[in-house]
Amino acid sequence: MAGMEGEALRARNDALRGEVDALLATFEEQQREFAAAQERLATATVTAWSADNLIRVTANSAGVPTEVHVEPEAFKRSTPEKLGHSITEATQAAAKLAGEEARRAFGAVERLGADIPDLPDLVPGAPSIKDLVRTLLEPESERAEPQPAELDPEDEAEYYRNRTYLEGGK
């Protein structure tokens, strides 16, 4: 009977080792894809026009304007106030395009690990690699505001008595 248990344990260990090896291989591939995406984005630019076609903004992959072009007839067809609005509009459109480009570039990194087990699946209580990658790729505007944890009355009293709130802890 001990032999059967030993074989079962060996088989389970081999299966776990295979899952860990697959996780590590995927993680290494994600690192390569991430580096390639960073390299592509380092030189990438996007261009956006204002709705009135008087302003063109070119921005880098971070959404920072690198060039603002004003059409020559802009000063004849518009007012300073309207041109200011057009510049803002084109700059925001370029920033949005840059964010979409970055999400597209890094999306391949996230898709690589979609079908493999996550670290907590293998090691209970371990941090999630998938959550970390998702957080890195998710636009800041879409992130949920963290909600304070509910404390029972005893923990709450301890929290305030020990000034744990000053340390950012629970």
**HEC string of the chain?**
CHHHHHHHHHHHHHHHHHHHHHHHHHHHHHHHHHHHHHHHHHHCEEEEECCCCCEEEEEECCCCEEEEEECCCHHHHCCHHHHHHHHHHHHHHHHHHHHHHHHHHHHHHHHHCCCCCCHHHHCCCCCCHHHHHHHHHCCHHHCCCCCCCCCCHHHHHHHHHCCHHHHCCC
Structural tokens at position 8: 């079962």
DSSP bridge pairs for 46:
59
The pLDDT value given to residue 170: 47
All residue ranges of the chain with pLDDT < 70 are 1-2, 109-110, 112-117, 133-134, 136-152, 155-157, 159-170
* Predicted pLDDT of residue 64: 94
pLDDT of residue 54: 96
pLDDT at 149: 57
Domains of the chain: 2-141 (3.30.1310.10)
At 101-146, the pLDDT tens digits run 888 887 776 676 666 667 777 777 777 777 776 676 665 555 555 5
